[in-house]
Amino acid sequence: MLFITNVRYLKKEKNFSFWIFRSGTNYPSDVGTRSLVSPSIVLPVIEDDDEEIYLKFWQWFDCGPGSIEISKYNHMTKTWREWISIDSDKEYYNSKTWLYKQIDLTEYESETIRLAFKYGQTGCAGWYIDDLEFEKKVPEFQGDFENGWGDWKADNEIWDVGKPSIVGPSSCHGGEKCIGTVIFDNSTKGESRLISPSINLPQINNEDEIFLQFWEWYEYTYAHQYIQIKKFNRFTKEWNDWETIENNSFYSDHTNSNGWELKTINLSKFATKKIKIAFLHDAVDSYRYDEAPGWYLDDIKVTIAGNPLHNISKLPIVKELSISPTTVFKNGKLTIQAKIVIE
């Protein structure tokens, strides 16, 4: 039997939190696939071309996470449409700790939706989920990870934010936190992208250049690293496929970076484009399950003329609004004196 506890649904915020769990040691073998279905949720309207909507939550799992599906409500027929998968089972077997998850729901803006979390593994401890929230915002490109994940995400777990523990570097490059592949363990077998927030690259003149800069630390037994770019098509409102701009392969025991190293990659050819950047860790074919610390990253920046770039919403933020009680009616027109201060 599947048990659910601590379900919260806050109508104003449209957030809810819950855990999936069962009593006993392992998920029973005779239950088949079970679904946890969310309350209906009306996603907000996108008011700025650069705004995005994300489902964010934390998860812990044994035998891999389950799948996540979405259903839209048809207001014409007053029926729910069929379930569509938006995130399916991955290769990562056991999370060993709470991991962060983020799923892009921007294409469902203004829709009334429900989510289903499906889990059907047997003989395992199960899948736990907590602190679900929906967020609409212009993503902010920050790469120091001092305040956690921010608007970064991983498409197949493995990556985690925190302080290096018994494996990996002795400390982060800057500050207390960085991001790495399974920062508490050497079990980095698998394939996973660390994906940046989207960022708009500006138009540049002949003298300027745009660079991706980051600090990296790595130690591998057998694995591949890829740095990839994905461009947004503003006409179709869709993201193009990933394009590899740099890669490295490691075929010997404990190949390492000899400490934190600065990496710089020229992104000038992507000027005027809206992009996402991915750091793809690939240790799927490791004959020794890649028993090595893996890849750590810190202080990731996109710069022009040495200055970091950040996304800025086109919509003004009203900081102060005051209307004078005195109105003037003249020549058939009503005039109201007002003061508006925007940021």
The pair of three-digit structure tokens given for residue 208, joined into one six-digit string: 């300027």
Contacts of residue 295, defined as CB under 8 A and 6 or more positions apart, other chains included, come to 180, 181, 188, 216, 217, 218, 220, 225, 279, 281
Look up tokens 């001092």; give the residue.
146
Bridge partners (DSSP) listed for residue 153 = 195
Neighbours of 215 (CB within 10 A): 21
Topology of domain 139-312 in CATH is: Jelly Rolls (2.60.120)
Burial class (CB in 10 A: 0-12, 13-18, 19+), 289: middle
pLDDT at residue 93 in the model? 65
Domain ranges of the chain: 1-137, 139-312
Q: What pLDDT is attached to residue 31?
A: 45
Across the chain, which distance is largest between two alpha carbons, in Å?
Answer: 86
Q: CB under 8 Å to 131, separation ≥6 — which residues?
A: 17, 56, 57, 58
The whole-angstrom separation of Cα 134 and Cα 195 is 18
pTM listed for this prediction: 0.78
How confident is the model at residue 14, as a pLDDT?
34
What is the predicted pLDDT for the residue at 8?
A: 31
* Angstrom distance (rounded) from CA 96 to CA 61: 7
Tell me which of 2.60.120.200, 2.170.270.10, 2.40.30.10, 1.10.10.1100 is the CATH number of domain 1-137: 2.60.120.200
Residue in 200, 197, 161 with CA at minimum distance from that of residue 298: 161
Please provide residue 269's backbone torsions phi and psi, each rounded to the nearest 5 degrees. Answer: -70, -10
pLDDT score of 186: 67
Per-residue pLDDT of the chain (343 residues; tens, 9 = 90+): 222 233 333 222 333 334 443 433 454 444 446 688 999 999 999 988 899 999 999 988 887 778 899 999 999 999 999 999 998 656 556 777 888 999 999 999 999 999 999 887 777 788 888 889 999 999 999 999 999 999 999 988 788 999 987 788 999 999 999 999 888 776 666 788 999 999 999 999 888 999 999 999 998 877 889 999 999 998 888 999 999 999 988 776 678 898 999 999 999 999 999 999 999 998 765 455 457 788 999 999 999 988 888 775 444 444 454 555 555 555 555 555 555 554 4
